Amino acid sequence: MVSGKIDVRLKRIYGDKKSGASILAEELFDVLEKLAVESKSKKEFLRFVGNLKSDLKRYHPLLFQLQNLVEFVRLALMRGDKSEMLLTIRKVEERFKNASEKVAENFLIWLDENNFKKVSIATLSYSGTVLRCLSYAKDRISKVYVFRSCPRCEGDEMARKLVDEKFKVFLVNDFGADFVLNKVDQVVSGCDAIFKNGDVLNKAGTLTIFKIARMQGKDTIVLGDFSKFVNRKAIERKFFKQCFEIGKSGGVETLDVIFEIVSSKFIGYYITDAGILVNKYRSGNEIVYNLSEMFSLW
């Protein structure tokens, strides 16, 4: 039985449509740890985890990272008894927290291998993974152009955080893509999911920016850790409606595109915690690891 305090926290996670998956994951791990302590048995806890995964699919169908992390916890808990549950959850959480740091380390390795002493970068929206990578390679970055990512304008927050870390930052409206991408060395983006054929799910605007960047011969880079990989080639149609927000304004129907699929053919590199993957722009490019090995905790 879920306590009142935990139920309130779960409802807050389900109802939060603004925070990214990484931020919600921190709250989710805290809930799981408290439930592991409160649960009377391992069987009771595993039943809750199964229900939690179903609820996350219903309330956050596009935040695959949350669903993956809950599944990793479930698989890890199949070993051991109740006394080991809390330790197991914390192991999954530790790997998740360390993964973004490893992505940042590999981003710096990529800059070194490609002889980039100083680079100018374009990015969009607000990605904790991108922020960490840029911070890690701060002395190698001359300036950062951040697209606002309307209609929610998450790029505004990204720009503020970069300014706080003393980067030279330009906040750009989304229509400035051609102008900006003609000036920068590379485009760096986070993602909400990486599918097994290399396509990624991310905030609307990513596809346009990557297309223009490729036309101008610029490097296009997607950053993502193990929890972003999804073992399917394409997103099902039932999720498409989650990519749009439809409303009305003064009698006019409005359509806001929030998420979109970016084809692998526009992505040059995938920098992950497991390594740097190079896409040679071949159709049907398979990039996914053996999932049982990639998601192993030990």
- Domain membership of residue 288 (yes or no) is no
Are 166 and 261 part of one and the same domain? Answer: yes
pLDDT at 247: 86
What's the mean per-residue pLDDT of the chain?
87
Same domain, 177 and 44: no
Strand order in the sheet with 269-272: 169-172, 141-147, 119-124, 186-189, 219-223, 269-272, 275-278
What is the predicted pLDDT for the residue at 296?
Answer: 41
Q: What's the pTM value of the predicted model, to 2 decimals?
A: 0.86
**Same domain membership, residue 272 and residue 124:** yes
Beta strand spans in the chain (E): 119-124, 141-147, 169-172, 186-189, 193-195, 200-203, 219-223, 229-230, 244-249, 252-257, 259-262, 269-272, 275-278
Q: Is residue 292, in this structure, part of any structural domain at all?
A: no
Q: Give me the CATH number covering residue 67.
A: 1.20.120.420
Question: Of 97, 127, 149, which residue constitutes the final position of a domain?
Answer: 97
Same domain, 274 and 128: yes
Show the tokens assigned to 177. Answer: 């893509």
* SS3 (DSSP) at 254: strand
Report how many domains make up the chain.
2
| Banded pLDDT at 274 (limits 50, 70, 90) | confident
Q: Does 140 map to a domain?
A: yes
Q: Which residues of 1-24 are buried (b: 16+ CB within 10 A; e: fewer)?
A: ebeeebeebbeebeeeeeebbbeb
For the CA atoms of the chain, what is the radius of gyration? 20
Q: Is residue 120 a contact partner of residue 183, using CB atoms and an 8 Å limit?
A: yes
Domain containing 76 equals 4-97
Residue 297 has pLDDT above 70, yes or no: no
Whether 142 and 34 map to the same domain: the answer is no
Given 36, 66, 97, the domain boundary residue is: 97
Give dist(CA 154, CA 184) in Å, integer.
21
In the chain, % of residues over pLDDT 70: 91
56 and 129 within one domain: no
Residues 120 and 152 reside in one and the same domain: yes
